[in-house]
Amino acid sequence: MENGSTCEAQIDGKKYLLNIPVGGEHFVQNSLCAIAVAKIFNIEMEKAIEGISSFSLTSKRMQIMTAKNGATIINDCYNANYDSVKAALNYLGSLTNKRKIAVLGDMLELGKYSKNLHEKVGEEVVKSKVDLLICVGQESTHIVQKAKEMGMNEKSVFLCKNNEEAINILKENLQKEDSVLIKASNGLNFTQICDAICA
């Protein structure tokens, strides 16, 4: 679901329904870890489940927004590393919207691993069946190249010089039924992209 998930956990022979107010399989896994910790510290399971159902993320972390034209925007531009980008792309891929758009930027401070990890993101873009890929940044060149190598249509892939160019391409292509993931390391200021299409 776009705004959350549910799952059933069996603890000591009793079934509990967890309502998780954030979408994505990785948040289901996080919630199950929280349940395990609660059990270790003898916290009442009902209190633990209530805590999970009422927690909220800081802004710019899997924050569901609505574009001016009604498209669904997933604002996840607080930060980015390979695992978080992979999880966000998997979530995008699970949505039932007409088209899936990924606006991705560089993952910073990866040193000698940067090229390889950006290429792996390109693989995840294709696996998640993204329809349109818009990238910004020097390292994101590797995302674009790998996505193309894996068969993504060149006409559906854009490498931008800056956020303004990405905003223009997104505005030109955005449709009401689309679901859009916007994610990069905080240094790329992708909040600017979210604000431009949502404000």
What confidence tier does 105 reach under pLDDT thresholds 50, 70, 90?
very high
Is the model's pLDDT at 107 over the cut of 80? Answer: yes
Provide the pairing of β-strand 14-20 with 5-11. antiparallel
Amino acid at 155: K
What pLDDT does 101 receive?
A: 97
DSSP secondary structure, 175-191, as one string: -TT-EEEEE--GGG-TH
pTM for the model stands at: 0.75
**pLDDT tens digits, one per residue of 53-81:** 776 655 556 788 999 999 999 999 878 89
Which numeric CATH code is attached to 63-198?
3.90.190.20
Q: How many CA atoms lie within 13 A of 57 on its CB side?
A: 21
pLDDT on residue 34: 80
pLDDT at 199 over 70: no
State yes or no: pLDDT of 153 exceeds 80.
yes
| Phi, psi of 100, rounded to the nearest 5 degrees | -120, 125
Q: What is the pLDDT of residue 135?
A: 98
Is residue 103 helix, strand or coil?
A: strand
**Amino acid 86: pLDDT:** 95
> What are the backbone angles phi and psi of residue 95, rounded to the nearest 5°?
-75, 155
Q: Where are the domain boundaries for CATH 3.90.190.20 in the chain?
A: 63-198
| Strand stretches in the chain, DSSP E | 5-11, 14-20, 63-66, 72-75, 100-105, 132-136, 157-160, 179-183
Q: Would you call 196 helix, strand, or coil by DSSP?
A: helix
More confident residue, 51 or 56: 51
